[in-house]
Amino acid sequence: MKKTMVYLSEEMHEGLRKLAFENNTSIAELVRKAVEIVYGEDIEDIRDMEVELAHYQAQAGSSVELEEYLRRRKAHVSA
């Protein structure tokens, strides 16, 4: 896990502090959950593309057509 500093308005910090207390968790955990909800799928897509690119660069002859990639991606998302 990496440490990141984030600046919040006083109002946002106070609201998060209260939510964290009510949910018996930390502000950091609330922020991590929010980031996962908002950006989790995009981050996973980037990770998948990086894996595919590395595989292609290692074995360019093993590439697939765009339609096949999209079909596999749709099957992966549906699973």
The torsion region of residue 24 among left (phi > 0), alpha (psi -120 to 50) and beta comes to left
Handedness of CA 72, 68, 71, 43 (dihedral sign): positive
Task: Give the three-class secondary structure for 42.
Answer: helix
Q: Which pLDDT belongs to residue 54? A: 86
Q: Which pLDDT belongs to residue 76? A: 84
Cα pseudo-dihedral 41, 47, 53, 59, rounded to 10 = -120
pLDDT in tens for each of the 79 residues of the chain?
A: 999 999 999 999 999 999 999 999 999 999 999 999 999 899 999 989 998 888 878 887 767 788 988 998 888 888 6
Q: Which two tokens stand for residue 49?
A: 């593309």
Q: Which pLDDT belongs to residue 53? A: 84
What residue ranges do the domains of the chain occupy? 10-78
Place of tokens 């209260």: 18
pTM of the model: 0.60
